[in-house]
Homo-oligomer: A and B are copies of this chain.
Amino acid sequence: MIKDVVRTSSVMQQWALDEKRSGRRIGFVPTMGCLHSGHLSLMKLAGEHADRVVVSLFVNPIQFLPGEDHARYPRPVESDVALCREAGVDMVFHPEESCFYASGHSVYVEETVLSQGLCGASRPGHFRGVTTVVAKLFNIVLPDVAVFGQKDAQQARIIQRMVKDLNFPVEIILGPIVREPDGLAMSSRNRYLSQTERRDALCLFHALEEARKLVARGERSWQPIRAAMAAVIADSNSARVDYIECVDDSTLQPVSSLETPVLLALAVWVGSTRLIDNVVILPP
C-alpha cells in the first residue's frame, strides 16, 4: 500500500536511508509516468528482488531535445498513482519539475561511447539527460536493485555501463519488452497515434519479425535483412525510417554479419510520433 507520494528529494532520500538502516532492500523503477503494462511488469520484477518498491514519476526535461514532446508528454499522475497502488508499490517519488534540478545546476553524467549511435545519433544530448537523471535518482532512492525495460535497449546498456564505471552499489535488472496482442511494443507515446497511425505502427514489429524469419532461414548478412525490414516500413503510408541498425549487443558497434549476439534496433516516425523497437538475436 502506498504510504505517500513524496515530492521532495530530501524527504525521499531520508525515507530511503531509514529503510536501509532497518535492513530492508529497496527496488526501484524509474519512469516518466503515463504507466502501461510494460511498467507494471518492471514493478513486479522489482518486488521479487526487494522488500520495498519505489517508483518515480518524472518527465525529465533534460533528456528532451528542443522541439521534442516534453511539454505535451502525458502526465496522468492520479491514474499513475492508482496503478502503482494496485501494483503494491510502497512509495511513489514524483518530484516537482521546478525544483528537481537546483538553480544553477551544472553537473552532468555523460556516457561517451555507447551513446553515440542509434537513438544517440538522432537525439544528441538525450542520453546525457538520462544518465544524469538516473544518477540523481539512484542517489535519492538508494536502490539495491533497479529495473529497466529492454524496450529502451540502448538506455539499458548505457545505465549498466554507468553503474559499472561509477561503482553505484545497485544491481540492474532488465525486463522484457511487453507487447500489445497484435505485437506493438507498449509505449507511453502510443497514445499519440491516430487510428490509421496505430495500424501503421505495427510495421516496426513486422519488420523485426521479418528479420527474425530471414535469420531462421540462415541469412547472416545484414544488408539483405536491412533491405527487407526497410521494405516492410515503406509499405506503411505514415511511417518513415529514422534508423534501422544491427549492432553488437554489448558494444553497440555496428556489425555487418550476424555471428555474435546482436541487437537489431529501429526507430520509425509514424506521423509525428517517433517509435522504437528491438530484438536481440543470438545466431545459432
Q: Which residues of A contact B (CB under 8 A)?
A: 9, 13, 17, 20-21, 23, 101-102, 104-114, 131-132, 135-136, 139-140, 142, 161-162, 164-169
Residue of B nearest to A21 (CB): B23
On whether the beta carbons of B161 and A107 are closer than 8 Å, the reply is yes
List residues of chain B with CB within 8 A of the CB of A23: 21
CA distance A112 to B105 in the complex (A): 9
CA distance A13 to B169 in the complex (A): 8
On whether the beta carbons of B20 and A162 are closer than 8 Å, the reply is no
On whether the beta carbons of A139 and B166 are closer than 8 Å, the reply is yes
CA distance A255 to B17 in the complex (A): 41
On whether the beta carbons of B167 and A107 are closer than 8 Å, the reply is no
List residues of chain B with CB within 8 A of the CB of A135: 109, 135, 166
On whether the beta carbons of A167 and B106 are closer than 8 Å, the reply is no
The 7 closest A-B pairs by CB, nearest first: A107-B165, A106-B113, A139-B167, A107-B162, A106-B112, A140-B167, A107-B111
On whether the beta carbons of A167 and B20 are closer than 8 Å, the reply is no
CA distance A112 to B162 in the complex (A): 19
CA distance A112 to B138 in the complex (A): 21
Q: Among the listed B109, B136, B142, which residue makes an inter-chain contact with A107, where contact means beta carbons less than 8 Å apart?
A: B109
**Apart from A107-B110, A136-B167, 6 more pairs, CB < 8 Å:** A9-B167, A101-B165, A107-B162, A109-B135, A136-B166, A139-B168
